[in-house]
Amino acid sequence: MKRNIKLTISYDGTRYQGWQRQPGTDMTIEGKLEQVLARMTGAAPEEAPLVIGAGRTDAGVHARAMTANVLLDTELSAEEIMAYMNRYLPEDISVNAASFCADRFHSRFKAIGKTYRYTCWYGSAKPVFDRRYVTVLERMPDLAKMEEAAELLTGMHDYKGFCGNPRMTKSTIRVVDTIRIEQSGSRIRIYFHGNGFLQNMVRIMTGTLLEIGWGDLDKETIPRIFDTGDRSLAGFTAPAQGLCLMKVDY
């Protein structure tokens, strides 16, 4: 009898082509998880258990607490499943928690909020040991201007102009209720919380905030982006390595 198990997963996305499995490559987080679960259950590769993630992080993006669920036909305990997965998963993917849950639990459809953190670095020294997890800035942005712009970015809006997929056919209306900017030494961290995010949305909002902080864009551009849905009016797409999924709310 199949049982639904909920997993909390962290990963360093540097080597991977994103979360979602893709044809022609086995270097995805989802793919690696399913390979191990197929081995554990004795399933053929084409019949591997399907892992459902709370979201689909892009290539190079990291996660501290991605939530996923999977239906498994096994008599192993949740603790044994977690131990098996961590034994055979690559060293840059970890299952941090595992528990059996209701059959109706769906990690994506049941999620009500997500927190992402984008980390920048500005300073005379190089972030040698954190270079895979921060984006190095060549100029120091004006954080006060960024905070003013962040207020305009929050709320319920049509974020089409902040979406990296020009062929998006589903609704692009989202609620971003919090954008918080913190500085600690050379690190500038931007926290985003909302009910969901479009493809590249956090990275485009980050690029927009940085360009406003540098004086390359005016904060009044933000209402125009919402009104027109014109991606070309927004800032650059910030590099993937600075982005990390921190938490999924249920």
Catalytic machinery residues? 58
Place of tokens 């994506």: 108
SS (H, E, C) the chain: CCEEEEEEEEECHHHCCCCCCECCECCCHHHHHHHHHHHHHCCCHHHCCCCEECCCCCCCCEEEEEEEEEEECCCCCHHHHHHHHHHHCCCCEEEEEEEEECCCCCCCCCCCEEEEEEEEECCCCCCHHHCCCCEECCCCCCHHHHHHHHHHHCEEEECHHHCCCCCCCCCCEEEEEEEEEEEECCEEEEEEEECCCCCCHHHHHHHHHHHHHHCCCCCCHHHHHHHHCCHHHCCCCCCHHHEEEEEEEC
User: With the CA atoms of 107, 111, 113 and 118 taken in that order, what torsion angle do they form, in degrees rounded to the nearest 10?
Assistant: 20
Backbone angles phi, psi at 151, to 5 degrees: -65, -35
User: Angle 112-243-153 (CA atoms, 0-180°, nearest 5)?
Assistant: 60
Backbone angles phi, psi at 174, to 5 degrees: -140, 165
